[in-house]
Amino acid sequence: MHIEHIALYTRQLEVLREFYEKYFDATSNEKYTNPTKRFESYFLSFDGGAQLEIMQKQSVPEHSGEPGAELTGLTHLAVAVGTHDAVNRLTERLRTDGYPVVGEPRTTGDGYYESVVLDPDGNRIEITA
């Protein structure tokens, strides 16, 4: 068994799609639209086969937490970029482009070299080696 995909609702579908394509080399499918349900989505594919479904539906309420807050439920996505240097470079690129870095590059207690940034919706993204 394996996880087929992870899904996130957003209020800014195109912004989130462009973020994951630009910074994490995701490849998007064509937008799916269901006008009856007022639903739109993309599947973003990553090297290695992982997929992220980003969805927009106006009837889904926004979460009430602070952007980047750790909450019960899905708390972060981790994206492996290969090396310590790649973690450092991508973290700095995101910082320069105005995205919040909420965890500086470091080696964690469980041995990961990672940083933590927030995507445009405030979701926590761990960038790991």
Q: Please report the pLDDT score of residue 28 as a whole number.
A: 98
- Domains detected in the chain: 1-58 (3.10.180.10), 76-129 (3.10.180.10)
Quickly state the pLDDT bin for 84 (edges 50, 70, 90). very high
**Residue carrying structure tokens 């790649």:** 86
Pick from 16, 17, 24: which is nearest to 128 by CA? 24
Contacts of 61 (CB under 8 A, 6+ apart): none
Share of the chain above pLDDT 90, in %: 76
Q: Are 129 and 113 in contact (CB under 8 A)?
A: yes
Q: pLDDT tens across 3-19, in order? A: 789 999 999 999 999 99
Quickly state the pLDDT bin for 61 (edges 50, 70, 90). confident
Q: Please report the pLDDT score of residue 75 as a whole number.
A: 81
- Using DSSP, state whether 77 is helix, strand or coil: strand
Quickly state the pLDDT bin for 110 (edges 50, 70, 90). confident
Q: Please report the pLDDT score of residue 72 as a whole number.
A: 61
Cα Rg, the chain, nearest whole Å? 15
Average pLDDT over every residue of 11-28: 97
